[in-house]
Each structure stands twice: as structure tokens, then as C-alpha cells.
Amino acid sequence: MDFLKDKKLLFRLWIGLLALGLVVLAITNYRVNFYGNSRLLPVSLGIFVTATFLLGIYFQKVRVVMHGAAFMIFVAAAFAGFSNWLPQTIGEPPPFEEKIADISTMSTQELADLGEKLIFGAVGASTVKGSIGKGQCPLCHVFGSSEHGERAPNMYGLPDRSEKIVKLDEYQNRDTVQTVAFDGSGIAESGLEYMAESHACPNCYVSPGFGKGGTNDRESPMPAIHKSPINLTIDEMVAIDTWSYIREGLEAPSVDEMRVAYEKFIPEDERPQASSGADGEGEGGESQLYATGDEPLPKLFEKAQCTVCHVIPGIPDADEGDFGPELYVKTNAPKRMKDKNYTGSASSVEAYILESILDPNLYIVPDFDEDLMPEDFGTGLNAKTVFRIVNYLSQLEKGKDPPNHEEM
Ligand code: HEC
Ligand code: HEC
């Protein structure tokens, strides 16, 4: 064994093994600390630098390469060390819908933010297409200054428009199915009161051209938003109005003025209360949206918002919706699929319902307007919700009793 006598070679072998040991140590440290919140990752790079440097000193031929490598790893280590030491953020689940605080203690901006959240689901969501909150207004209304409302008037310019509408002869001498909110309420005398009346009593005055089909604008398709299924409290409607003023750069009336306007059109026994939070099934405070799929069917249809637009046979309280057809789907789906204008691809009642939910404009039921049923509707519903909806609707037949929803 000649080379054992060569001291220089022996020394190099020893250094080589030491460097190898350091590399193994560095890799082990890296693996152990890669997951989790440890901040020891840069230690590995430090050990690498040492190992490379060591090799560079004693292996003359590769010295330049080794020192170059050591330097690069050192720079990398410095960066990694720096970012590794920054505070680590941990993803948190979104907070639960907070209970509505006393709005008279809120700043105007906070109140407007609450209004935006009630309409669109989140602060800042008014610019995000398809956003919808507890108030459900974007189901029917558009809000952008340049958008055209198909289903309902554009909400842009509402505060100004309201001032003008109350002075119109058509407004003051209206001939609708319900000319006052309740006996003795009177009609609106200011723009602010008009907004409150529009929310509490959509039938009182119907915007020309937007009435229920065939009623000659004498009846409104909009649900009274302080009643089921939307159930907003007076304070929540005040927040929505505040947003309507603020976002157009207008000064909002005071909370008290707005409350008085709503009290003019909503009798005491019809005013929804904010939920106490204790029973978890409060009428007002919590979000109606986002069905889990486990609620009783009537609640499920309400949360999925179908009842705003459709009459659903056999479901209590689903007898008002007038935007879409009555959902006798078992009777109607076969007729639709045979229609020579049918452009969908369903061949069973169930598939037809699915298609109607997920891609509503694929085929438009005769005598109904295009673009009425929201396009991105299906994305907010989970599989269990959709399954139970399809299961129930597919059994609804004209002239037959609907199935018992309590067993489904
Ligand atoms: C199911 C569809 C639908 C929903 C949901 C809906 N609206 Fe309406 N809304 C209408 C229709 C249609 C009209 C026009 C007929 C009328 O004047 O009643 C209207 C009219 C109005 C008016 C009067 C507008 C004007 O120019 O005179 C206001 C204000 C209003 N809605 C506010 C709201 C708010 C706020 C929400 C949400 C909390 C909402 N609406 C939810 C359909 C809807
Ligand atoms: C904003 C109003 C609106 C909402 C909300 C809505 N729909 Fe519709 N829906 C319509 C309109 C309008 C039509 C008819 C025009 C068309 O075919 O798109 C329709 C058509 C349908 C049809 C076809 C009916 C037939 O006779 O062929 C089905 C099924 C249906 N909707 C189911 C649902 C379900 C389930 C929900 C809730 C998850 C829902 N819709 C929510 C407006 C709505």
C-alpha cells in the first residue's frame, strides 16, 4: 500500500472524508428542517460553504472552482437566511361572519363597507364579477355606471334619480296592485324615502318596463327585501343605502334620517330583528347564502336562491318567484328537449336540470328573457346541494302531488 506512506495523499483523503461528512450533515439538516416553521435552513448552506472552502484549500487543482462555488453558496445562504428569518405567515381560515354591531357607532365609511358586503359578499367585491352577498341584489341588478340592466334598473345613479322620481306625476298618481306600503304610510316625499319605499314595497311604484310580465308594470318582480327569503334588517338596508351614496361621491344622510325613512314604510310588526346569535337560526344577522347541503329542502332552495325567481311546487314559501318558469320539470323537460330550437345536450330530466343550473343560457325557455338566470350560478353550490335539488325537481309533475320534501 504505497499511497498510505504518502502523507500528503493521506491528508487529502482525510479532508475529503471530512468534507463528505459535512455535506451529509448539511443535507440531513435541510431535510429535517424543510417542513414546519424552523429557521435553521440556512445552517445547511453554511455547512456547504465550509465544506467547499475546505476542499478548495487542499485540492490545489480545483481551487478556483471550489472557491467560486463556495462564494456562490455563501451569497445564496445570506439571502435564504434573510428571508427565512422574516416573520412567517400562517394561512388562517376566513373569519366567521361577524355579528352586526350597533351601526350608530360606525363611521360612514364602515357603514358603507358593511353595505358593500351585504350586497356583494365582501368589502371591495363590488368590482368583482359574479360577487353576491346576503342581500342578493346582483341576482337582478347591475351596478356599474356603463352597464345596462336587463332584469332590473341599474343601481348607478339611484340617489339622484330617486329625487326626480318622487316629483313625477306617474309616481304620485300611481296605479299599481298595492299603492301604499301599508294603510296610512303615505308615499315618499324625498329621494331617501323613495329608496326606502322601493326596498320595503317594490309594488308601490314599478319602474317602467320592469314590471312582472303581463301586468303592464302594475306589479314588481322584486321581493320585499325585509321579508323572506332575503330578510334584511332596517339597519342593514341603511348600510346598503349608505354605500349607494358614498360610492358615487355623494354625502349620505345620517343613520337616524335613514332609519326614520324605513320606519315610515315598514310597520313595527314587520321589522326583522338582528339575530341574537344564541340560537344560530336568527332571521336577520347571519348570511343566508352558502347552503351546506344538509339543511331541510325548503331552506336549501331558499339559500341556493332559486326561490327568488321560481315557484317550486310543494315547497312552502316558494310561491312568489316570478322571474323564471314554475319548476314542473318532469312535465316540462321532455318538451324542452324535443323543441326544435333546443341547443343543449341533455337526454334525461336530471341532466336537463343540471344543464339549466350550470349553463342556463344554453337554451332559453320560450317566453322568458335571455340572461335572466345568472350564468355563474352553479359555482356557488356544492355537490350535495345540487344533487338534492336535482333529485327533488326531477319528480315534479303537473297534475300530480309533489313528493314529500320532508323525506328527501
Ligand atoms: C329577483 C330580482 C331582484 C332582486 C333580488 C332585487 N331586486 Fe331591486 N328591483 C328588481 C326589479 C325588477 C325592479 C324594477 C321594478 C320595480 O321598480 O319594482 C327593482 C327595483 C329596485 C329599486 C328601484 C329602482 C329605481 O330605479 O327606481 C331599488 C332601489 C332596488 N330595486 C333595490 C334593490 C336592492 C338594494 C336589492 C338587494 C337587497 C334588490 N333590489 C334586489 C328586481 C330585484
Ligand atoms: C335571477 C333569477 C333566477 C334564479 C335565481 C334562478 N333561476 Fe332558474 N331560470 C330563470 C329563468 C328566467 C329561466 C328561464 C330562461 C332560461 O331558460 O334560462 C330559468 C330556467 C330554469 C330551469 C328550466 C325550467 C324549464 O321549465 O325548462 C330550471 C330547471 C331552473 N331554472 C332551475 C333553477 C334552480 C335549481 C335555481 C337555484 C339553484 C334557479 N333556477 C335559480 C331564472 C332564475
* Mean pLDDT computed over 120-137: 89
Distance 152 CA to ligand 1 centre (A): 6
Residues 308 and 255 in one domain: no
Residues 81 and 114 in one domain: no
Distance 179 CA to ligand 1 centre (A): 17
Kindly state the cell numbers that stand for 349: 330530466
Residues 262 and 335 in one domain: no
- Identify the residue whose C-alpha is closest to ligand 2 atom 17: 364
Residues 188 and 247 in one domain: yes
Taking every pair of C-alpha atoms in the chain, what is the biggest distance, in angstroms? 118
Lowest mean pLDDT across 90-99, 229-238, 239-248, 323-332:
90-99
- Identify the residue whose C-alpha is closest to ligand 1 atom 7: 222
* C-beta of residue 242 within 8 angstroms of C-beta of residue 108: yes
Winning range, highest mean pLDDT, from 19-28, 187-196, 313-322 = 187-196
The 3-class SS string of the chain reads CCCCCCHHHHHHHHHHHHHHHHHHHHHHHHHHHHCCCCCCHHHHHHHHHHHHHHHHHHCHHHHHHHHHHHHHHHHHHHHHHHHHHCCCCCCCCCCCCCCCCCHHHCCHHHHHHHHHHHHHCCCCHHHCCCCCCCCCHHHCCCCCCCCCCCCCCCCCCHHHHHHHHCCCHHHHCCCCCCCCCCCCCCCCCCHHHHHHHHHHCCCCCCCCCCCCCCCCCCCCCCCCCCCCCCCCCHHHHHHHHHHHHHCCCCCCCCHHHHHHHHHHHCCHHHCCCCCCCCCCCCCCCCCCCCCCCCCCHHHHHHHCCHHHHCCCCCCCCCCCCCCCCCCCHHHHHHHHHHCCCCCCCCCCHHHHHHHHHHCHHHCCCCCCCCCCCCCCCHHHCCHHHHHHHHHHHCCCCCCCCCCCHHHC
* Mean pLDDT computed over 79-91: 54
Q: 0.85 cut: is pTM over it?
A: no
Residues 132 and 264 in one domain: yes
More confident residue, 74 or 293: 293
More confident residue, 301 or 72: 301
Distance 141 CA to ligand 1 centre (A): 7
What pLDDT is stored for residue 287 in this prediction? 45
Q: What is the tens place of the pLDDT at every residue in 233-282?
A: 999 999 999 999 999 999 999 999 999 999 999 999 999 877 543 333 33
Q: What is the tens place of the pLDDT at every residue in 350-401?
A: 999 999 988 888 888 887 767 667 676 777 788 899 999 999 999 999 999 9
What pLDDT is stored for residue 368 in this prediction? 77
Residues 126 and 263 in one domain: yes
Residues 162 and 207 in one domain: yes
Kindly state the cell numbers that stand for 251: 354625502
* Mean pLDDT computed over 275-290: 43
What pLDDT is stored for residue 14 in this prediction? 85
Q: Does 95 map to a domain?
A: no
Range of the domain at 24: 7-85
Residues 70 and 177 in one domain: no
Please return the burial class of 168, using the count of CB atoms within 10 Å of its CB with bins 0-12, 13-18 and 19+.
exposed
Domain count for the chain, please give it: 3
Q: Does 26 map to a domain?
A: yes
In angstroms, what CA-CA distances link 234 with 169, 224, 226?
28, 12, 7
Mutate to test the pocket of ligand 1, among 134, 139, 141 (most ligand atoms within 8 A of CB): 141
* Mean pLDDT computed over 14-20: 84
Distance 204 CA to ligand 2 centre (A): 26
Q: How far apart are CA 222 and CA 209, in angstroms?
A: 13
Q: Does 373 map to a domain?
A: yes
**Residues contacting ligand 1 via CB (< 6 Å):** 135-137, 139-141, 151-153, 158, 161, 165, 195, 198-199, 202, 206-207, 210, 220-222, 225, 240, 308-309, 323
Q: Give me the CATH number covering residue 355.
A: 1.10.760
Mutate to test the pocket of ligand 2, among 320, 329, 373 (most ligand atoms within 8 A of CB): 373
* Mean pLDDT computed over 289-315: 88
Residues 384 and 243 in one domain: no
Q: Does 285 map to a domain?
A: no
Distance 327 CA to ligand 2 centre (A): 8
Distance 336 CA to ligand 1 centre (A): 30
Kindly state the cell numbers that stand for 231: 330578510
Q: What is the tens place of the pLDDT at every residue in 112-122?
A: 999 999 999 99
What pLDDT is stored for residue 206 in this prediction? 97
What pLDDT is stored for residue 85 in this prediction? 56
Q: Does 232 map to a domain?
A: yes
- Residue 218 identity: R
Which pLDDT band, with edges at 50, 70 and 90, does 16 fall under? Answer: confident
Residues 141 and 247 in one domain: yes
Residue with cell 481551487: 63
Q: Which of 316, 304, 315, 317 is nearest to 357 (CA)?
A: 304
Show Cβ contacts of residue 368 under 8 Å, excluding neighbours closer than 6 positions: 324, 325
Nearest ligand 2 atom to alpha carbon 381: 38
Residues 128 and 255 in one domain: yes
